[in-house]
Amino acid sequence: MGCTAFWDPRYWPGRQDLRAVEVGWTWLAASAQGTTINAEAKLLLFTHAFEVLGVTRVDLKADARNQRSAGRWSASGRHSRGCCAGGRLPRHRARKACCGTRPCSR
């Protein structure tokens, strides 16, 4: 089916309290793409991040070439922060990442 996970935990300066996480590193089998599986998994991760971990924001990143992923952000209430160069680069390939954020609505 696939996988999605928390990544890049960030803490408040000088404290051990978690401030933010990234949700991503997602891959789905072809049979799971275009279904509600990814949205449901992301909703579970967002809920856990805000309600259990107590973070104030969750970040998402997609390769700038992944228009299908980046294009769905606005429909889910995420705020686009545009594209940035760099990030975690696959070996021998430059990459631009489109970044989005969903702040806590508390």
What pLDDT is stored for residue 38 in this prediction?
Answer: 86
pTM of the model: 0.68
Predicted confidence (pLDDT) per residue in 58-67, tens digit:
888 766 676 6
What distance in Å separates the CA atoms of residue 73 and residue 64, rounded to the nearest whole number?
13
Question: What is the three-class DSSP state of 2?
Answer: strand
Q: Which two tokens stand for residue 39?
A: 């949205």
- The CATH label, of 3.30.1300.30, 3.30.420.140, 3.40.630.30, 3.40.350.10, for the domain at 2-103 is 3.40.630.30
Q: Where are the domains of the chain?
A: 2-103
DSSP string for 22-88: EEEEEEE-TTTTTSSHHHHHHHHHHHIIIIII--SEEEEEEETT-HHHHHTTGGGTPEEEEEEE-SS
What pLDDT is stored for residue 94 in this prediction?
Answer: 45
Do residues 7 and 26 touch, judged by C-beta distance below 8 A?
Answer: no
Predicted confidence (pLDDT) per residue in 39-50, tens digit:
899 889 989 999
